[in-house]
Amino acid sequence: MLQQVNGHSSNPDAHGRKPLREDLQEFLGQDAPLLLLDDLTKVNPVTLETVLRCLQARYMADTFYTNAGCTLVALNPFKPVPQLYSPELMRQYHAAPQPQKLKPHIFGVGEQTYRNVKSLIEPVNQSIVVSGESGAGKTWTSRCLMKFYAVVAASPTSWESHRIAERIEQRILNSNPVMEAFGNACTLRNNNSSRFGKFIQLQLNRTQQMTGAAVQTYLLEKTRVAYQASSERNFHIFYQICKGANADERLQWHLPEGAAFSWLPNPERTLEEDCFEVTREAMLHLGISAPTQNNIFKVRRKAVLVLRGDRQPFS
């Protein structure tokens, strides 16, 4: 069917591509490079095409953050960009008279939220919602925010306050390997995909210094224990136990070397997330003693065996 857009035909060309509307062509062909548009509200006309072209131009120029009004759009660079997350940059955003005037960045969002708490404007409690599809970089972004607050929400003059903020950051960072071992899995989109939601609460005192933190998890994808889509895996912890248990533990847990379980597909894939030692270390730092750990892993291993009874083992 013939479609008319702004009075122009939108018939596909010889390559099957639809011709661009005149106003789109004008916008995309303008003198100012698209990559300079640091706020998507400046994109005019706002269409999927113009927004994506703008984000693409910025991505090609290694500019991974763009504002969209009061929302920040973060593109996943899929490569390390250390200068983008340096402590110097954190301090720059923290010290800026107007951080919103600096380039769009997750530290800008972090700082603005921190200032809202400080200025005691209602609501004093502030929330940052990090959302996106699997592999978009939500976990990464949350970690960046934690690191940012550990630096800024500590008194520069009080060594004690600095130590507390660092200790809280360390405990939260230590909770990551544990939660990831039990709640993350390798999926088609992300080798280390979180299969649960997380609510992290940072507590500040009256002088806006970090005094505590709480992490609440929800909506764990429990069905993954018994069913994994093809080419996906079960939760990391099962592979960690099978690959990382020492000789004594193998005897105790009835886990012969090289045993294969039908509920643990694709065990031949070696991921950096398979490291049992990292999980154990982090559990110890969180105060989970070696005997308690032993009981937890024993139960995990039994769970796999019981499930194995319901399904054909690998041949």
Q: Return binding residues.
A: 132-139
217 lies in the binding site for ligand ATP (CB under 6 A): no
192 lies in the binding site for ligand ATP (CB under 6 A): yes
Residues 55-74 that bind ligand ATP (CB under 6 A): none
Residue 19 is given by DSSP the state P
Choice from 36, 81, 260, 284 touching ligand ATP (CB under 6 A) = 81
- For residue 202, which phi and psi values (nearest 5 degrees)? -105, 130
Q: Which two tokens stand for residue 115?
A: 């200032």
Closer to ligand ATP by Cβ: residue 190 or 217: 190
Choice from 7, 48, 78, 82 touching ligand ATP (CB under 6 A) = 78
Closer to ligand ATP by Cβ: residue 110 or 137: 137
Shortest Cβ 165–ligand ATP spacing (Å):
23
- For residue 261, which phi and psi values (nearest 5 degrees)? -120, 135
Write the CB contacts of 42 (distance below 8 Å, at least 6 apart in sequence): none
CA distance 242 to 269: 13
Which amino acid does the sequence have at 30?
Q
> Alpha carbon 286 to chain centroid distance?
21
19 lies in the binding site for ligand ATP (CB under 6 A): no
131-170 burial, b for 16+ CB within 10 Å, e for fewer? Answer: eeeebbbbbebbebbbbbbbbbbbeeeeeebbebbeebbe
CA distance 194 to 221: 9
Residue among 40, 124, 30, 23 nearest 75 (CA): 40
136 lies in the binding site for ligand ATP (CB under 6 A): yes
Choice from 135, 155, 166, 303 touching ligand ATP (CB under 6 A) = 135
The answer to whether the CB of 284 falls within 8 A of the CB of 278 is no
Binding residues for ATP are 132-139
Shortest Cβ 35–ligand ATP spacing (Å):
18
134 lies in the binding site for ligand ATP (CB under 6 A): yes
Closer to ligand ATP by Cβ: residue 89 or 307: 89
132 lies in the binding site for ligand ATP (CB under 6 A): yes
**With CB under 6 A, what is the number of residues at the site for ligand ATP?**
17
Shortest Cβ 85–ligand ATP spacing (Å):
8
Choice from 58, 138, 224, 280 touching ligand ATP (CB under 6 A) = 138
The binding site for ligand ATP (CB under 6 A) comprises 76-78, 80-81, 132, 134-140, 190, 192-194
